[in-house]
Structure 1
Amino acid sequence: MSLLVRAGTTLATLADSQPDTTGEDYSRPNRNPGHSPQVATGGRRRRPSILNAVLAGIGLWVATTAVFLPTGGDPAVVTNNVFVGLVIALAAGYNYYRAQNEVPPSPTVASLIVTLGLWLVVAAPAFEMGGAVFWSTFAAGFAVAGLAGYTVYEARTVRRIAHETFSRR
């Protein structure tokens, strides 16, 4: 009998020492009331935050290149790129902030960034931009749309994981 008790204790100790992939410690219930459990681990937390930081940088790039590169004297080009670039930077910064605080990134905000990236792709030829501003805006639009599209996918996946985690409780 004592051998079974020792074996059971060893197995219980071994089970308690294994890392929990959800980030939640179920061995101590209500360890921190009001604290939401970690909804994503490892790479799922880092990727959206890194991508959102890159998206914010691209948004700032779009906003500043319209001011510093020659635009042909068209104020609509400058206004468009500064406004759209700053909105991309702010929206990506918001999702970056959420990801850093272990809150799932907003798929709605990421979808807004995708839409603005597609707008940059369309706006470059629509405003008849020329030279370096055209290619900068066009390439940035493709990069923003692609990266933000991936963040929409990741944000939806993290939300689904969070929903499954909270519905089990």
Structure 2
Amino acid sequence: MDATTKVTIAGNSVLGYWLLVAPFVLGTSAAGRWNDIVVGAMVILVAGYNYTRAVSRRPISATGAGLVAVLGLWLVVAPFALGLKGVALWNDVVSGTLVASFGSYNAYVAGSAPTLQATAQ
């Protein structure tokens, strides 16, 4: 994997950790707090899995990267669905946009990487 892929995966991991901490720093409501905690934990797990694969020079999971992108899109929509306001709303929108962007890039890279069977022929 190239350096950009590793950086975007690591960026999603950092954003996942931020999502775990942000509700307590920003004083988010209960629904927003649990949403950020659950989504942040899922982003950390999937991005961590893909980072481990990237560092060991194995192809990253396109499904996992796609899941992270979908979670990022959910973060953009969730504050409006959950009725968040102010800083908590914008935190989720900005974090979600970054997570979705990084996840989409990683899904694209994972999908365009040659498979072992194709390179063996």
| TM-score interval, smaller chain | over 0.9
TM-score w.r.t. length of structure 2: 0.93
Larger radius of gyration: 1
Determine the structure 2 residue equivalent to 1:141: 96
Determine the structure 2 residue equivalent to 1:119: 74
Q: Give the alignment partner of residue 7 of structure 2, picking from 50, 54, 66.
A: 50
Identity of aligned residues (%): 33
Shift of 1:151: 0.5
- Which is richer in helix? 2
CA distance in 1, matches of 2:101, 2:77: 15
Give the 4+ runs in structure 1 shifted more than 6 A.
Answer: none
- Structure 1, unmatched stretches of 5+, are 1-43
Give the letter aligned to residue 76 of structure 1: A
Offset from partner CA, 1:6-56 (integer Å, 9 cap, x none):
xxxxxxxxxxxxxxxxxxxxxxxxxxxxxxxxxxxxxx4322221100011
Shift of 1:162: 3.5
Question: Which protein has greater RCO, CA pairs closer than 8 Å, 6+ apart?
Answer: 2
Determine the structure 2 residue equivalent to 1:152: 107
Shift of 1:161: 4.9
- Structure 2, unmatched stretches of 5+, are none
Q: What are the equivalent positions in structure 2 for 1:4-153 lying under 5 Å apart?
A: 44-71=1-28, 74-153=29-108
Shift of 1:164: 2.2
TM-score w.r.t. length of structure 1: 0.68
The answer as to whether partners of 1:66 and 1:133 remain within 8 angstroms in 2 is yes
- Paired positions, count: 121
Shift of 1:86: 1.2
Kindly report the root-mean-square deviation, in angstroms, between the aligned alpha carbons of the 2 structures.
1.3
